[in-house]
Amino acid sequence: MEKKLQELKRRLAEVADLQNAAAMLSWDQQTYMPPGGAEARGNQLGTLSSIAHRKFVSDEMGQLLEDLESYTDELDPDSDEARLIQVVRRNFDKKTKVPSEFVAEFSRVRSRAHGAWEEARENDDFAHFQPHLEKIVEMCREYADFFAPYDHVYDPLLDRYEPGMKTESVQDIFSELRPLQVELIEAIGDRDQVDDSFLHQQFEEKKQWDFGEKVITKFGYDWTRGRQDKATHPFTIHFGVGDVRITTRIDPEFLNSGLFSTLHEGGHAIYEQGVSSDLERTTLAEGASLAIHESQSRMYENLLGRSYPFWSYFYPQLQEVFPSQLGNVDLDTFYKGINKVEPSLIRVEADEATYNLHIMLRLELEIALMERELEVADLPEAWNARMEDYLGLTPPNDTKGVLQDVHWSSGLFGYFSTYSLGNLVSVQLWDAIHDEIPNLTDQIREGDFSSLLAWLRENIHRHGKKFKPQELVKRAAGSEIDPAPYIRYLQGKYGEIYQL
């Protein structure tokens, strides 16, 4: 059986290499590729995706898994080998339901859609993107139908990013979360607003870039295995444990945008760099799920990067970088400013108290599209109506509304809810970390993040995809995903800032 296990790993390594090559082409498309390359890039990605898919769902792979199924009984159930066979079996059963031709065509459609989205966003022209999005929505419905019967048409899409999670479960969590967040936002709205005008000045782009890199270096991001580039919409991508790259965007007139984008993507990348090298070139060599991934990025961005102890260490250094802008702004004022709660149009720049409402809006629109209760042509109007209902704002144009996110152009339906789930998990993990490292706050105040990183490496990062998301959260934090700790965190933090 050992020989068959090694053959399984060999075949998985080939698939991983093909997928990483496709990821490299995708990274290039979003960073350096000239617009004229979109058609050819779509064909290249389609070919690679199709080959990888065919190799993974081959009869030989199926026979290996069948032969190895009984072998798992002889293994430690938590061993890398037992978990690998289990996860590959699940993925195999799913992917054999999806034709290779569909995989290739979906890659081509998404590649073309990305270029169309960038152009539409730049020119505030939803009509230019609409036919591409209509095709993506149609194919997402087709994908879901490969898994019929299902409890809900959205379930197969959600399962791609959050294995085992059901649409009904997410809706239940959001139903519990939304009224409590609305109540908090309304209470804050009755208080005097904090001043963040000092964040809206001219901040030299290169200095912003360098400071962001300095911070994530201190966090533990390994530049010998990564790099940072610019992109229209920030993202993290990996081509193996030894090559994990991030992107950001800089607003020369708003400090928060580039800084917290870099911290957020740095959190994602540190996770990928921490996956055990023993899992390299296997199905386990990636994050457990997108909610777990987001727990890491939101932890570094918010629980750490927007905390008072963090800025006790870093703020004097930031003042040295921008003395004319921040030299006369004290730490208390700066801390309150970067944590200002105010409904806003752009999700990636939303504060912690309003962020989840952006996600709920998108989830509802995606479900309506999949249920055929909403047509793509009506999406801008539906978007604006929900923005007004949820946040009291109406986007002045589609660039700041329905076109702001890259996800739909990439076919990532089922993805958005994982952002909010990640927020919940981040606080559960944060509480567990503080229980095990009682002096963590003091360490952060001194700019020492080594104990934090070591805990995350041991309890989250090294495991890669070995454990199901809920199982991993329970192992690390003692319970499955629970909104209560997150609400307590928000109420405590913003109750103090706004004197509630």
CATH of the domain at 264: 1.10.1370.30
Asked whether the predicted pLDDT for residue 149 surpasses 80, the reply is yes
| Same domain? 88 vs 188 | no
Is-above-0.75 flag for pTM? yes
Average pLDDT estimate for 258-264: 96
| Same domain? 174 vs 117 | no
Asked whether the predicted pLDDT for residue 471 surpasses 90, the reply is yes
| Same domain? 105 vs 205 | no
Q: Which domain holds residue 322?
A: 167-497
Q: Name residue, tokens 């075949």.
A: 11
Predicted confidence at residue 2, as pLDDT, reads: 87
**Average pLDDT across the chain, whole number:** 95
Predicted confidence at residue 270, as pLDDT, reads: 98
265 classed as catalytic:
yes
- List the Cα angle 239/366/236 in 5-degree steps: 20
Average pLDDT estimate for 23-34: 93
pLDDT band at 236 (very low <50, low <70, confident <90, very high): very high
Question: What share of the chain in percent tops pLDDT 70?
Answer: 100
- Catalytic residue of the set 265, 272, 286, 301: 265
Number of structural domains in the chain: 2
Give the residue from 274, 308, 299, 278 showing the smallest Cα distance to 288: 274
Average pLDDT estimate for 16-27: 95
| Same domain? 276 vs 132 | no
**Could you report the per-residue pLDDT of 79-90, keeping only the tens digit for each?**
999 999 999 999
| Same domain? 187 vs 123 | no
Asked whether the predicted pLDDT for residue 384 surpasses 90, the reply is yes
Does residue 162 form part of some domain? no
**Could you report the per-residue pLDDT of 67-115, keeping only the tens digit for each?**
998 888 888 999 999 999 999 999 999 999 999 899 889 989 998 999 9
Does residue 43 form part of some domain? yes
| Same domain? 271 vs 197 | yes
Predicted confidence at residue 348, as pLDDT, reads: 84
Tokens representing residue 232 in the block: 């229209």
| Same domain? 209 vs 124 | no
Does residue 89 form part of some domain? yes
Give the residue from 166, 200, 490 showing the smallest Cα distance to 341: 490
Give the residue from 496, 489, 420 showing the smallest Cα distance to 194: 496
Asked whether the predicted pLDDT for residue 1 surpasses 80, the reply is no
| Same domain? 103 vs 219 | no
Question: Can you tell me the distance from the alpha carbon of 486 to that of 380, in angstroms, rounded to the nearest whole number?
Answer: 31
Does residue 160 form part of some domain? no
Residues 6+ apart with CB under 8 A from 487: 177, 180, 181, 184
Question: What share of the chain in percent tops pLDDT 90?
Answer: 92
| Same domain? 336 vs 380 | yes
